[in-house]
Amino acid sequence: MSDPKIADKKPAVIELEAGTYKWCQCGLSQNQPFCDGGHAGTDFTPLPFTIDEKKKVALCQCKHTQGSPFCDGSHSKLD
């Protein structure tokens, strides 16, 4: 598997508490947009990211963003 699976063509807009999270890069997690280990057996690994204070974020679910893990609108260019 060299291309990620598109989990959704819209971002997950959620409020996160301060802390470290693991964003799913493969699209196989059943706990989108976070990693649940679904990448096992692929070349993908989760992307750790840190939120310094409680805030609302838009996390990419199409897995094609250039600003991982945050949505950059790439989903609007997908077929």
Collect the ranges in the chain with pLDDT lower than 50. Answer: none
Within 10 Å of residue 36's Cβ, how many Cβ atoms? Answer: 14
pLDDT at 79: 75
DSSP class of 75: G
pLDDT at 2: 81
Q: CA–CA separation, 77 vs 19, rounded Å?
A: 31
